[in-house]
């Protein structure tokens, strides 16, 4: 288990992280969401022992990062933001160096390096120096060093940033494959990634933890949760007809689509499909909405802005 206890970080007068507390169990992929400058990377640096908290601490599988940093760090793999260090080393030299620093010796070194190289498809760039790699390959080298020792806790700061669509897909699959018995903490600006990958999501803004929920729980906060969106020719007629249903609270026409919002009565989706049949409308698209994460994100972080 990992536990953040009132983690706080000041940079001079700036309060970058403000008393963030949470506990995470194995089997969790926890996503940090938040605007630029929210404090996500700073929180990750403190969790992994790379930055001392101003106040508070974190405990990683029983090891306090302030008093027992080495043991805590052994349990973790960390992908920092930005490019990896040691740019003048070849990928192979760098990964072997990391394996040795992690305590592997002899045949174990190559075995560990090869396994990570396979998982991140790095074979073709093994001899190349890191500084000459493209952005996406640098990111993949960073991921390879993080997973090399198969740690129970992974902290990955924007793991898919800069990757092409195929590699994004591969890295998400890698994270999902590893997730069952580990704790994986990621940060991301890709909201679909939260739904696709995370079992739990935290929205952070201005250093404060504003929401801590499952992706489904976040979606349920959306005004679009259980709304019905459809496209058809005569939007205005459909809007007034559907707006009069007792199952509907409100209608909205935006960008050529009609959205009907549920009242607290009955089943809106059934009522809408019944009405479509009764009226004989030609409907191109009909969708029951789970909710819109971008809208929840905006609402939660705007409220923080106003506070």
Ligand X SMILES: Nc1ncnc2c1ncn2[C@@H]1O[C@H](COP(=O)(O)OP(=O)(O)OP(=O)(O)O)[C@@H](O)[C@H]1O
Residues binding ligand X (CB under 6 A): 11, 14, 16, 34, 36-42, 81
Q: Using an 8 Å Cβ cutoff, are 259 and 232 in contact?
A: no
Q: Which is nearer to Mg ion, 41 or 259 (CB)?
A: 41
Query: Closest separation between CB of residue 138 and ligand X, Å?
Result: 17
Query: Closest separation between CB of residue 235 and ligand X, Å?
Result: 38
Q: Which is nearer to ligand X, 54 or 299 (CB)?
A: 54
Q: Which is nearer to ligand X, 30 or 89 (CB)?
A: 30
Query: Closest separation between CB of residue 11 and ligand X, Å?
Result: 3
Q: State the binding partner of 23 from Mg ion, ligand X, none, CB within 5 to 8 A by kind.
A: none
Q: State the binding partner of 82 from Mg ion, ligand X, none, CB within 5 to 8 A by kind.
A: none
Q: State the binding partner of 34 from Mg ion, ligand X, none, CB within 5 to 8 A by kind.
A: ligand X
**Strand order of the sheet with strand 208-213?**
76-79, 153-157, 183-187, 28-33, 200-205, 208-213
Q: Which is nearer to Mg ion, 40 or 138 (CB)?
A: 40
- Which residues does residue 260 pair with via DSSP β-bridges, in sequence order? 228, 251
Q: State the binding partner of 37 from ligand X, Mg ion, none, CB within 5 to 8 A by kind.
A: ligand X
Q: Which is nearer to ligand X, 8 or 41 (CB)?
A: 41
Q: State the binding partner of 140 from Mg ion, ligand X, none, CB within 5 to 8 A by kind.
A: none
The residue ranges that bind Mg ion (CB under 5 A) are: 40-41, 81
Query: Closest separation between CB of residue 148 and ligand X, Å?
Result: 24
What's the CA gap between 168 and 170, in Å, rounded? 5
Q: State the binding partner of 228 from ligand X, Mg ion, none, CB within 5 to 8 A by kind.
A: none
Query: Closest separation between CB of residue 191 and ligand X, Å?
Result: 13
Query: Closest separation between CB of residue 105 and ligand X, Å?
Result: 36
Q: Which is nearer to Mg ion, 7 or 230 (CB)?
A: 7
Query: Closest separation between CB of residue 40 and ligand X, Å?
Result: 3
Q: Is 22 helix (H, G, I), strand (E, B) or coil?
A: strand
Q: Which is nearer to ligand X, 51 or 290 (CB)?
A: 51
Q: State the binding partner of 248 from Mg ion, ligand X, none, CB within 5 to 8 A by kind.
A: none
């Amino acid at each position: 288990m990992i536990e953040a206890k009132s983690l706080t970080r000041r940079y001079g007068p700036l309060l970058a992280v403000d008393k963030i507390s949470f506990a995470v169990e194995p089997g969790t992929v926890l996503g940090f969401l938040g605007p630029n400058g929210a404090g996500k990377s700073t929180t990750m640096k403190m969790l992994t022992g790379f930055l001392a908290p101003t106040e508070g601490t974190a405990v990683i599988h029983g090891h306090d990062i302030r008093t027992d940093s080495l043991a805590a760090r052994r349990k973790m793999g960390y992908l920092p933001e930005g490019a990896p260090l040691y740019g003048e080393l070849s990928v192979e030299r760098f990964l072997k160096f990391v394996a040795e620093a992690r305590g592997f010796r002899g045949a174990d070194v190559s075995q560990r390096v090869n396994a990570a190289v396979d998982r991140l498809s790095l074979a073709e760039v093994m001899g190349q120096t890191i500084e000459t790699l493209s952005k996406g390959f640098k990111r993949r080298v960073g991921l390879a060093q993080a997973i090399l020792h198969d740690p129970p806790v992974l902290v990955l700061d924007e793991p898919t940033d800069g990757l092409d669509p195929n590699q994004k897909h591969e890295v998400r699959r890698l994270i999902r494959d590893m997730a069952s018995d580990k704790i994986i903490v990621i940060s991301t600006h890709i909201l679909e990634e939260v739904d696709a990958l995370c079992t739990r999501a935290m929205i952070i803004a201005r250093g404060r933890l504003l929401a801590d929920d499952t992706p489904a729980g976040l979606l349920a906060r959306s005004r679009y949760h259980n709304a019905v969106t459809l496209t058809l020719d005569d939007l205005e007629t459909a809007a007034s007809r559907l707006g009069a249903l007792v199952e509907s609270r409100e209608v909205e026409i935006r960008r050529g689509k009609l959205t009907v919002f549920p009242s607290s009565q009955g089943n809106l989706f059934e009522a809408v499909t019944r009405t479509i049949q009764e009226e004989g409308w030609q409907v191109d698209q009909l969708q029951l909405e789970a909710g819109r994460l971008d809208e929840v994100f905006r609402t939660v972080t705007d409220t923080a802005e106003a506070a």
